[in-house]
Structure 1
Amino acid sequence: MSKILIIYSSVHGQTRKIAEHIGKRLIENGNQVVTCCIEQAPLLGEFDKIIIGASIRHGKHNSEVYNFIATHLEALESKSSGFFSVSLVARKNGRNTPGSNPYMQAFLSKTQWRPNLLKVFAGNLDYQGYNWLDRNIIRLIMWITKGPTAVNTKVEYTDWLGVDVFVKELERL
């Protein structure tokens, strides 16, 4: 089996939750897995596969993700790798694949890294878990995109079966 590193950049915790789920499934299948936030990533050389997950905040992936990739591009390109993006936009059909998701397309246009596997997952909507600014920005975006805007809304849009399919695809790399 493989030694796999899963690195994530998460604002409100859903990307971390997805990364940990992926790690748990990979361990259950006999792999050695280290899961950590991007700021605590170990040296990449000791891993067979590297997976990076990043959430969207205010329409962008965290700049730390791009900096990490630029710094470690050679190591990333020498390994089997995957990238997944988490956003509320991905809750909609026609925005939930790497080819149709605007944030994945923006990611690919901003980096030279070309992972072997790309995936898009819908995130979690929890207005009460956001600060005042984020709550109102996200409510405006949801209003524009015809999503729920009630301040007590709490919905997990993540397709966990789709995450498990991603795990199987990772193992085939």
Structure 2
Amino acid sequence: MKTLILYLSHDGQTMKIAHEIACKMGGVVEVAPLNPESAVDLKQFSQVVIGASIRYGHFHRNLYQFIEKYHLQLNQMPTAFFSVNLTARKADKNTPETNGYTRKFLQKSKWKPTITQVFAGGLYYPRYRFIDRVMIQLIMRITGGETDTTKEIEYTNWNDVYQFADRLKHQVNRA
């Protein structure tokens, strides 16, 4: 049983989550950045997991390109999708049904993952470029979030990540 975890990460939190999932799953897990130009032989995997983050209200276009290319194969095997965004820091926005970004993505997608999850991301003001820091601060002000640009806050609930990894482990064992 071999699992492939692909991720798209702007500031590293989605990558960090992907690697933590792989560690908690154990077994044979390959973790790699999602690149739609790379040829991927999905047949060598018993399960595929894709993680993607939101930046300025959108998933990266590479996610849509990859799904357009591989949705038929993905829909014929156990798969999972996890979304990472700051909106999910709020209890009423941290499920696939209540998180607007994830819900819209899943409704429009040709790919229908077996398992879906939403995780809150990290807010790392000091690491951002000036324009990103100002834009994210504005978004956080509008949404009632942290605006102190000297702070770094990790909103990710790691217990949720570990539970997701357990679900994935059980899914691949059933396949």
Confirm or deny: 8 A CA contact 1:124 1:157 kept in the other structure: yes
Contact 2:83 2:118 (8 Å CA) reproduced:
yes
Within 5 Å, give how 1:19-168 maps onto structure 2: 19-27=18-26, 31-39=27-35, 42-168=40-166
Q: Distance in 2 between matches of 1:172 and 1:66?
A: 27
C-alpha separation between the residues in 1 aligned to 2:40 and 2:125?
A: 34
Whether contact under 8 Å (1:7, 1:41) holds in the other structure is: no
CA distance in 1, matches of 2:20, 2:149: 28
So what's the TM-score if we normalise by structure 2? 0.93
1:108 is displaced (CA, Å) by 1.2
Shift of 1:132: 1.4
Give the percent of matched residue pairs that are identical in Structure 1 and Structure 2. Answer: 41
- How far apart are the structure 2 equivalents of 1:25 and 1:151? 33
Residue 10 of structure 1 corresponds to 9
In the TM superposition, what is the alpha-carbon distance from 1:74 to its structure 2 partner? 1.4
CA distance in 1, matches of 2:166, 2:39: 23
Distance across 1 between alignment mates of 2:39 and 2:150: 35
Number of residue-to-residue matches in the alignment: 169
**Aligned to 1:72, what secondary structure does the other structure show?**
helix
Offset of residue 41 of structure 1: 6.8
Query: What CA deviation, in whole Å up to 9, does each residue of 1:35-91 have, x standing for no partner?
Result: 000025732110000000000001000011011011001110111000000000000
Contact 2:24 2:166 in 1 (8 A): no
Structure 1 counterpart SS, 2:166: helix
SS of equivalent to 2:118: strand
Mapped contact 1:53–1:84 kept (Cα < 8 A)? yes
**Which ranges of structure 1 fall in alignment gaps of 5 or more residues?**
none
Q: What is the TM-score of this pair, normalised by structure 1?
A: 0.94
Ranges in structure 2 where 5+ consecutive residues have no aligned partner:
none
1:56 & 1:112 partners in 2: Cα distance?
19
